[in-house]
Structure 1
């Protein structure tokens, strides 16, 4: 098949596909106008998140047999139109689940043990042991919201820490084992000391974590979000941190990630978050390790071949 790649990817993607006999055009510099101009010639399209894969674009692809997303999220894709046109969809959540799990755990331990604060203080000659006394993860209850590739990988990383793991997934059942208790969301609200979010962005999960939902938690808790920023508003985070419902937040994603394009009110909300010492940020890199960059390609090619090898 003739395949167009429109985003920057690990260089292994082209030889992996060519070894299977495909003709590959690797054009990470192409813009949306350019994509629209050439897409009619391709049977496969591989993307990250450069441009919305919407009806306007897909109508210019009469030969398209598959769309492959180098990552996990599908919120930038018109899934209904893909299904209507019989275009297969592949994505590579398996390729970066380990990276996400390790990143989430690292952020949590950083919050619990004041790593950033103590590092900066010692560099300035401040030796404050009491002010940097940590909190142990052992004995805590960790709630996992969404138990797919990312949620289950995070649970696996927690096994050696002596925690109780409660996992909720609206669309899965029968996944409990000796380490993980299949749980209702209400049970997580009752018991969680930590909540880690691992769901895709959908109409149902967009801004799901409202002030009303957070008020339903019985304890103050730590929030980890390595999923999608739009599951919770920045204003909601600030409110919950201010009133003590949240003890802290580890945020790899934000409601709005193009920080230079924030509105005045969004800027104020972000600045309020950034002044809080119990908030930890990273720039949407949880799934973006050196290893996952390559593994995503391997997963995608295997899925493409699994469907089209015959």
Structure 2
């Protein structure tokens, strides 16, 4: 596990008898390959990462026994999901665990921007006593425009409304509003009518630099921009120009196009030095509560996959909510190309081994099939290992993706 993943993750792994190797730093591709290939034994291995460690195609190719990747965060854009899926590698994340923490940070930034707290704190540090009401406002009665009404955006909506803000949102998918929030008829309408605009979109080709000079110009004069989603969403140079012109009154950013790999590396941004801008070091989900919840959620998902083949919540493989393995039984997991005849061939192998199927689940997704098969023999029965080898030898089976659980 890399990047100082919370200690709560170790408990689930310990219960599942999974040996854990930790590093506090984000690893580069060659370091990941060396670390994974250097693990003892020849069984399946997993890696746990946060946002800095990139798991790209060369890693899947160089580490054929990589069985699963755990993203101990919400986003998964640091992982090549398509290659993972076609390689039969399970990827799990924590889409819900830190939503509250991010939403609370945005609320804090809304208040700080509206009251100019950072500018006035800065002045006090310099010995200037800015005790006046100029430019300071309550947030009650103001309008918050949320772009992206997913898990974080919708929770932010609830918190903001409780503080007396009017909430409008825009999403490319029709979403049911919570509370008294309302969907905006268009993005332009939301920008024109919002005192605060908060971005909560994923990193996709469609969202990269989606907020540039044109969008900033459409914002209500004197409004504030908050980005706690992805650093690639906002054109930083365009934002600086809009801030310097006074059209955008202030901004709060927690994510950036380029971020340091570790706390020892320097941070640089064109927005540094602007006193109406709050810059935080990607800490939206960095609360003890969120990190503990993420550690538990992702590690339990990884452990359940390695023990039972359970893929509930998996992004890259078909979803199977597999129960625990019954006493006296064995379970085999097989990942294969989704072509006709696989199940027939697998069942024939069971018959040839002299075993009986006591439970079976097959699900497919995007050209990949996941087969879980329980048989009436213990794992130390030679027939079970023979069956595993036969299933692995099927022409449709993905290499190293057949194992005894």
TM class by smaller structure: 0.7 to 0.9
Aligned counterpart in structure 2 of residue 252 of structure 1, from 251, 254, 262? 254
Residues in 2 aligned to 1:275 and 1:26: alpha-carbon distance in whole angstroms: 37
Deviates more, 1:239-248 or 1:36-45: 36-45
- The 8 Å contact of residues 69 and 89 in structure 2, kept in 1 or not, is answered as yes
Aligned partner of 2:62 in structure 1 is 60
Residues in 1 aligned to 2:49 and 2:98: alpha-carbon distance in whole angstroms: 15
| 3-state DSSP of counterpart to 1:167 | strand
- The 8 Å contact of residues 118 and 132 in structure 1, kept in 2 or not, is answered as no
Aligned partner of 1:156 in structure 2 is 158
Change in CA separation of 1:125 and 1:45 when aligned onto 2, cut-off 3 Å: closer
Change in CA separation of 1:302 and 1:155 when aligned onto 2, cut-off 3 Å: farther
Q: How far did residue 62 of structure 1 move?
A: 2.2
Equivalent residues, number: 298
- The 8 Å contact of residues 191 and 197 in structure 2, kept in 1 or not, is answered as no
Q: How far did residue 122 of structure 1 move?
A: 4.5
Change in CA separation of 1:21 and 1:180 when aligned onto 2, cut-off 3 Å: farther
Residues in 2 aligned to 1:290 and 1:148: alpha-carbon distance in whole angstroms: 23
Aligned partner of 1:202 in structure 2 is 204
Aligned partner of 1:16 in structure 2 is 12
Change in CA separation of 1:303 and 1:173 when aligned onto 2, cut-off 3 Å: farther
Aligned partner of 2:180 in structure 1 is 179
Work out whether 1:188 is the aligned partner of 2:185. no
Aligned partner of 2:142 in structure 1 is 140
- The 8 Å contact of residues 230 and 254 in structure 1, kept in 2 or not, is answered as yes
Structure 1: gaps of 5 or more residues: none
Q: 1:117-155 CA distances to partner (integer Å, 9 max, x unpaired)?
A: 333445666443225552111111111111222212211
Residues in 2 aligned to 1:209 and 1:117: alpha-carbon distance in whole angstroms: 25
Work out whether 1:26 is the aligned partner of 2:27. no
Residues in 2 aligned to 1:194 and 1:50: alpha-carbon distance in whole angstroms: 29
Q: 1:79-130 CA distances to partner (integer Å, 9 max, x unpaired)?
A: 2211222322211131211111111111121111122333344566644322
Q: Which consecutive aligned stretches of 4+ in structure 1 deviate over 6 angstroms post-superposition?
A: 259-262
Bigger Rg, structure 1 or 2: 2
Q: 1:230-271 CA distances to partner (integer Å, 9 max, x unpaired)?
A: 211221111111233311101112222239678xxxx6x62x
| 3-state DSSP of counterpart to 1:230 | coil
Mapping for residues 46-195 of structure 1, pairs under 5 Å: 46-122=48-124, 126-130=128-132, 134-170=136-172, 172-183=173-184, 184-195=186-197
Change in CA separation of 1:299 and 1:102 when aligned onto 2, cut-off 3 Å: same
Q: How far did residue 160 of structure 1 move?
A: 1.6
Change in CA separation of 1:39 and 1:123 when aligned onto 2, cut-off 3 Å: closer
Aligned partner of 2:388 in structure 1 is none
- The 8 Å contact of residues 154 and 178 in structure 2, kept in 1 or not, is answered as no
Higher helix share: 1
Change in CA separation of 1:123 and 1:73 when aligned onto 2, cut-off 3 Å: same
Change in CA separation of 1:118 and 1:51 when aligned onto 2, cut-off 3 Å: closer
Structure 2: gaps of 5 or more residues: 305-309, 312-321, 325-405
